[in-house]
Amino acid sequence: MKIYADRFPTALRQLLTDLLVIAWVYATIRGALWVHDLVQKLAVPGQKLEGAGGGLADNLAEAGGKVGRVPLVGDELTAPFGRAADAARSLAEAGRDQQELVDQLALALAVGLLIVPLSLVVFGWLPLRIRWMRRAGSAATLATAPAGRDLLALRALASQPLRELTRIAPDVAEAWRQGDEATVDALAALELRRLGLRTPQTP
């Protein structure tokens, strides 16, 4: 399997395209991570709320425990501290919920930013690149096989523009059917050139 073409213009175009795709993927991932980190900063108030609520609930519970040891009226004095501690725990829970919501939002936005650009790469550029590598590898193998040039010539007859074919011979199909060596070689070279490959030197 060939990765790049033999001819300079085609190989340069492929290399530049590959570099652009790599830069595109890198920039997309970096951008998604930046958005994720930016949105995550919205969780800071929730973290502070959770910390403050949790600390206040612990302090109130501790104070209620101490007040509860007061003889006769301890139980009555403890009840307000308990209710206040429960309210503080509710604040802490709200802070945790806000953080979870921000985490989900940050993840959703990051994934959303990645889907379209990476889909273009995976379902657009990558299949075309792999198809070229397979075709170029097969063509390079055929070019060195005994009957390979006939197959390449047939491929050229089926896929090349008519103006390119008529430059080889006025009745290029008939010349190919008769096995004219010059016509077969010219057609095979035309197909190889279309893929950016050089014609192998015959010994």
Span 66-76, pLDDT tens digits:
666 655 555 56
CA 121 to the chain's CA centroid: 6
3: pLDDT strictly greater than 70: yes
pTM: 0.71
Confidence category of residue 152, pLDDT binned at 50, 70, 90: confident
- Cα torsion at 129, 134, 139, 140 (round to 10°)? 90
**Cβ-based burial of 75 (10 A; exposed 0-12, middle 13-18, buried ≥19):** exposed
> Under 8 Å CB-to-CB from 152, ≥6 apart: which residues?
139, 142, 143, 187, 188, 191, 192
Q: Which of the residue ranges 85-89, 127-131, 156-160 has the most confident prediction, judged by mean pLDDT?
A: 127-131
Q: Kindly state the average pLDDT of the residues 160-166.
A: 82
Percent of all residues in the chain with a pLDDT value above 70, rounded to a whole number: 87
Could you tell me the sign of the dihedral formed by the alpha carbons of 195, 198, 202, 203, in that order? negative
25: pLDDT strictly greater than 70: yes
183: pLDDT strictly greater than 90: no
Higher pLDDT, 121 or 46: 121
Q: What pLDDT score was predicted for residue 69?
A: 60
